[in-house]
Amino acid sequence: MGLLLKDIEKRVDGKMHLHDVNLELQTGQRYVVLGRTLAGKTSLLRMMAGLDRPSSGSVLVNGVDVTGQSVRKRSVAMVYQQFVNYPSLTVYDNIASPLKVAGRSKDEIDRKVRRLASVLHIEGLLDRLPAELSGGQQQRTAIARALVKESHLLLLDEPLVNLDYKLREELRDELLQLFERRESIVVYTTTEPIEALMLGGNIIIMHEGRVLQMGPTAYVYNNPASTTVAENFSDPPINFATAEVKDGNAHLRIGIDFALLGRHAELPDGEYTFGVRANHFYLRPRSQEMIAVPSKVELAEINGSETFVHFSYRNRSMVVQETGVHPFKVGDDITVYVHPADFYVFNAAGNLEVSPGEPGSSPQALSGS
Amino acid sequence: MARITLEHIAHSYYPNPQEPEDYALKHIHTSWDDGGAYALLGPSGCGKTTMLNIISGLLAPSEGKVLYDGQDVTLLTPEKRNIAQVFQFPVLYDTMTVYNNLAFPLRNRGVAANEIEKKVHEVAEVLDLSEYLGKRAANLSADAKQKISVGRGLVRSDVAAILFDEPLTVIDPQLKWHLRRKLKEIQQRFHHTLIYVTHDQVEALTLADKVMLMYEGEIVQTGSPDELFENPQHKFVGYFIGSPGMNFLPCRLDGNLARINGAAIPLSDEMAALGQKTKGKTELGIRPMYLEVHERETAGSVAAQVTGVEDQGSFKVLSMTLAQNPIKARLSDSQPVPESTAWLSFPKEKIKLYADERLVQ
């Protein structure tokens, strides 16, 4: 049971918005669509909702082809980036509107509206108009209206992007709890790798209108299928260096040589791209095997709990992530350390050969949401 | 460049304010040193934009005075104060070349042509705009346009301060750090007084030497990023800085112990002595990254029930309940995750006490 997208293409004015999309989403599961702006996330969501018709391909719900069917006939609820509410209706009537349309009894409507309003902490605002609410309260109202429907498909298009980051943190926690209790398919788009990780469930990586990889979120994070997936699913950016491997040694073109260890040592000779995420660079050596990279600080970005130190080594900009607040000045000398086994290695075509994780780790069955 | 002082400033948007809640700014008495880089940080509605408008002269305060190098400028317009401003959206002349956009503020002030030429080239070079000088501004990317807005402030040698109102809002996430780096270089090279207004902690903590954290119309703490993180003076600072924010647990002091319902947390002698003198609602505060998490009972540890775990890639956030209070800890990606019961130790040097929301010190 679920939603099936088969060979979907979408062209608008000769431009390809979606290309060769094949996805199977299962009822009761949570899916995060991760991609940069213009990757096709919103196009994909509109296709799932029935707001847009594909140029070719088909959409099946529980085995029934619904490709041409209008959104009104489908069981869909959607939350947008912008806070969309009926401006002339109170918060209560906004939340109640889908139930009224469905002809539910007054008692049932009242019970459901009040229950959701209390879960989303807007129970004290039910008599207000949307214009009298803060941005966070407006979005809570829109979310309550989408959830009250108990639709088969719940779509959220970057719902938190226009909120302050602290509000985002709180609302994300609440949404997670709400998702856990639902029987429907939940699809949530975001541009932020960290948000995708926190939401967990399954991930769909989109880039330039194509689906690059799909699987359990933690598995995809630890085993990005290509350099493009790794770029899209790393924040701060993953650090890449092209390299030649010969007789169990790596020679990074930026001028770093080291002996390969563990599974990395089994790489056949050839050309590769080595990638290391910022949290696997360190400012102190953690073992004897670590490689030291003498560098200069370009900028220390502080996000509150971590510091991202952008540094340059032989004119190449890279970034290291450190826990805590560390003020560095532009131009400071630092030594950055990396363990030879902490690299992701991609072949000449850009596909993953070795990841630093445990050998033999494979996608587990899709975990329950 | 100037030293900017706000003397006993209060502002209300109502004609006859009565209650403290009627004020957007409650009581601000502070100053910005010449050549410093500052941030006004806070959530929407905290009063930071009101404060910026009072500094720039777009708004006259209900009470108090604004001084530039000791001169009262409270009633002067922004033009008279020689303030340069960079807004969320680039403000420039689309039809002019980049060169003319940068030269415009100087021509307006009757600066000699050779001086203009020199200054425009100097600023363009710092901002990596040299190759675009002959191009029309209209066709440039958002980050290049925003750099021009910054450059229009930098060319002026008479500018008292450059004020930034969320300047990186329209910049793509992948490009943000380049622009932050540029702003940081400018600050180290030109020594302008820079004031950034933002709700984004990354922006504030990265760009400013001193961050003023605002909450409900007041400045709750002014300090370096390090001070705000390690020593929050107010609960709001602990909550707002850091993800997740600081843990706060209502407690009762009993000798060298902080009692949280059934759980007892040992305190240092010094902290216990400080605690004895305080009145009001007492809470223990600790950062999630400083909590030590064990899978088994260890000396001095307390048991907490695990309610959830969030994988953030490079670390995990463990949610728990400790003596009926929610509490979060941060685990490194290599640390084992306790299944149902976690044993927590609170390093004494990392514990803070708060009385009626203020740090006990």
Q: Please provide the DSSP assignment of A221-232 as one string.
A: HHS-SBHHHHHH
Q: Is A255 exposed, middle or buried (0-12, 13-18, 19+ CB in 10 A)?
A: exposed
CA distance A213 to A233: 11
In a domain, A346, yes or no: yes
Spatial distance between the Cα atoms of A123 and A109, rounded to a whole number of angstroms: 14
- A218, A258: one domain: no
Domain boundary among A163, A197, A231: A231
Does A301 map to a domain? yes
Tell whether B198 lies on the interface with A, counting CB pairs under 8 A.
Answer: no
Looking at A209, A231, A253, which one is the last position of a domain?
A231
Angle at A302 between CA B151 and CA B176, to 5 degrees: 40
Q: How far is B172 from chain A (nearest CA, A)?
A: 9
* Nearest chain B residue (CA) to A319: B177
Rounded to the nearest integer, the mean pLDDT of chain B is 92
% of chain B exceeding 90 in pLDDT: 67
Examine the domain organization and report whether A212 and A248 are in the same domain. Answer: no
**pLDDT value for A303:** 87
Chain A / chain B CB contacts < 8 angstroms: 99
Tokens of A173: 């926690």
B224 touches chain A (CB under 8 A): yes
Same domain assignment for residues A49 and A190? yes
**Interface residue of B128, B314, B334 to substitute, partner A, most A CBs within 10 Å:** B314
Judgement on whether residues A6 and A134 belong to the same structural domain of the protein: yes
Three-state DSSP class for A71? Answer: helix
**Selected residue with higher pLDDT from B243 and A319:** A319
pLDDT above 70 for B290: yes
Is residue A35 a part of any domain in this protein? yes
Establish whether this prediction's ipTM goes over 0.90: no
pLDDT at B310: 87
pLDDT of residue B69: 93
Query: Do both A262 and A317 map to the same domain?
Result: yes
Together in a domain, A218 and A288 = no
Which residue from A277, A299, A323 is facing B289, i.e. has the nearest CB? A323
Does residue A361 register a pLDDT over 80?
no
Residues A187 and A250 in one domain: no
Weakest-pLDDT range from A24-38, A353-367, B101-115, B178-192: A353-367
8 Å CB contact of A323 and B184? no
Domain membership flag for residue A18: yes
Percent of chain B with pLDDT over 70: 99
- Same structural domain for residues A306 and A221? no
pLDDT(B182) > 70: yes
* Segment A159-181 mean pLDDT: 85
Closest partner residue to B310 among A166, A198, A279, by Cβ?
Answer: A198
Q: What is the mean pLDDT of residues A192-204?
A: 93
Q: Would you state the pLDDT for residue B158?
A: 82
Residue A211: which CATH number? 3.40.50.300
Question: In chain B, what residues touch A160 (CB-CB under 8 Å)?
Answer: none
**Structure-derived torsion over alpha carbons of residues B103, B107, B112, B115, reported in degrees to the nearest 10:** -20
The CATH number, out of the four listed (3.30.70.270, 3.40.50.1580, 3.40.30.10, 3.40.50.300), of the domain defined by the range B4-239: 3.40.50.300
Residue B206 sits at the chain A interface (C-beta within 8 Å): yes
Check if CATH label 2.40.50.140 holds for domain B244-359: yes
In terms of domains, do A211 and A269 share one? Answer: no
Asked whether the beta carbons of residue B43 and residue A167 sit closer than 8 angstroms, the reply is yes
Q: What is the mean pLDDT of chain A?
A: 91
Indicate whether A41 and A12 sit together in one domain: yes
Overall residue count recorded for chain A in this entry: 369
Q: Are residues A40 and A168 in the same domain?
A: yes
Residue A358 is predicted with a pLDDT of: 62
How many helices (DSSP H) and strands (DSSP E) are in chain B?
Answer: 10, 22
Residues 49-68 of B with CB under 8 A from A: none
**Chain A partners of B172 at a C-beta cutoff of 8 Å?**
37
Give the tens place of pLDDT for each residue, B84-130: 999 888 888 999 999 999 999 999 889 999 999 999 999 999 888 99
The answer to whether the Cβ–Cβ distance between A303 and B202 falls below 8 Å is yes
Asked if the domains B4-239 and B244-359 are classified in one and the same CATH topology, the answer is no
Look up residue B75 and give its DSSP letter.
Answer: T
| For residues A247-266, average pLDDT | 94
User: Residue A213: pLDDT above 90?
Assistant: yes
Q: Residue A360: what pLDDT?
A: 45
- Which residue, A207, A231, A255, sits at the end of a domain? A231
Our CA-based measurement puts residue B332 at a distance from the nearest CA of chain A, in whole angstroms, of 9
Choose the closest CB to A330 out of B188, B226, B310.
B188
Domain ranges of chain B: 4-239, 244-359
Please state the separation of Cα B32 from the chain's center in Å. Answer: 15
In a domain, A367, yes or no: no
Distance CA B322, CA B291 (A): 12
Residue A330, pLDDT > 90, answer no
pLDDT in tens, B207-250: 999 999 999 999 999 999 999 999 999 999 999 999 899 999 99
Containing domain of residue A336, as a range?
239-354
Res. A367: pLDDT tops 60? no
For chain A, the residues whose C-beta falls within 8 A of a C-beta of chain B are: 36-37, 134-135, 164-167, 169, 191-194, 197-198, 200, 218, 221, 236-237, 277-279, 298-305, 308, 310, 321, 323-325, 327, 329-330
User: The domain spanning residue A265 has which CATH number?
Assistant: 2.40.50.140
Percent share of chain A, pLDDT over 90: 75
The count of structural domains within chain A is: 2
Of B184, B226, B330, the CB nearest to A299: B184
* Lowest mean pLDDT across A18-22, A55-59, B278-282: B278-282
Collapsing DSSP to helix, strand or coil, A245 comes out as: strand
Whether residue B180 has pLDDT greater than 80: yes
Do A267 and A350 belong together in one domain?
A: yes
In chain A, which residues have their Cβ closer than 8 Å to the Cβ of B224?
Answer: 327
Q: Which residue of A has its CA nearest to B209?
A: A327
Q: State residue A368's pLDDT score.
A: 36
